[in-house]
Structure 1
């Protein structure tokens, strides 16, 4: 996964990726600022499953199964009709439900821009700052190996 979203991603794919990486506390804070959860129905209650995580040799080589991870998914429908989905690593059912609700809210054109600017953009900025810090810390431990050529004697 790269730090920069590929250009072929849709806006919804971008906000769903940000919501999937958000913490439950961050999503709770968003709904606190919004005045609570909107009226909705559960189409698919939050449920946990496992998925196979794949890796690639050298990042671009042959695929191999790295291991399994837990995933929680949820589907909700607002009383206004928008359907929201979420998929999140881990077993946090509340987080999956809140992310699905926010996905549904973001689909309403009349509030999409405000929600993107006030909720998704700050989350994305915090996530990018955390990734940059991780890259900085990893770079600090980088070792450059080189060969010394020894002279005679």
Structure 2
């Protein structure tokens, strides 16, 4: 995998984690870092996107409805541009995700963002999923059919 593709995969994975955790958890992790100078390219704003669906996964596409999305764009003084999108009307979270995205593209700041912000949040998210799966498995009932000896 080339360096550019690895960076893209790293950004996708980080954005997946950051979009699913609460804003307070991201903010708490970011306080440990020294955030470089940056400015907003696009102030955080909310809007609607059309959600499309398919029956059976391969049927004809149809408009399912609209969802609210917030987005923001940030540029570090060193030139990296980050984008943040989040479902809902949380403009602060969109702005913070955009900042993290820009920092992940900076060779100087990427290791710190990955180890101090993304990795701990990913581990916490995974632990929550495993706990939910264990709770669900504890209530699982195995059904079986008894066959009578009569013919």
Q: Structure 2 length normalisation: TM-score? A: 0.77
Alpha-carbon shift at residue 53 of structure 1 (Å): 5.6
Gapped runs of 5+ residues in structure 2? 1-5
- Asked if structure 1 preserves the Cα contact closer than 8 Å seen for 2:69 and 2:89, the reply is yes
- 2:48 aligned residue: 50
d(CA) in 1 for partners of 2:29 and 2:120? 11
* CA pair 149-53 structure 1, distance change in 2 beyond 3 A: farther
* CA pair 61-50 structure 1, distance change in 2 beyond 3 A: same
- 2:3 aligned residue: none
Alpha-carbon shift at residue 151 of structure 1 (Å): 4.5
- Asked if structure 2 preserves the Cα contact closer than 8 Å seen for 1:53 and 1:69, the reply is no
- Asked if structure 1 preserves the Cα contact closer than 8 Å seen for 2:33 and 2:112, the reply is no
Alpha-carbon shift at residue 56 of structure 1 (Å): 6.0
- 1:106 aligned residue: 104
- 2:37 aligned residue: 39
Q: Does 1:94 align with 2:101?
A: no
Q: CA RMSD for the aligned pairs? A: 2.8
* CA pair 24-146 structure 1, distance change in 2 beyond 3 A: same
Matched residue of 2:108: which SS?
helix
Q: Across the two proteins, how many residue pairs are aligned to each other?
A: 143
Gapped runs of 5+ residues in structure 1? 1-6
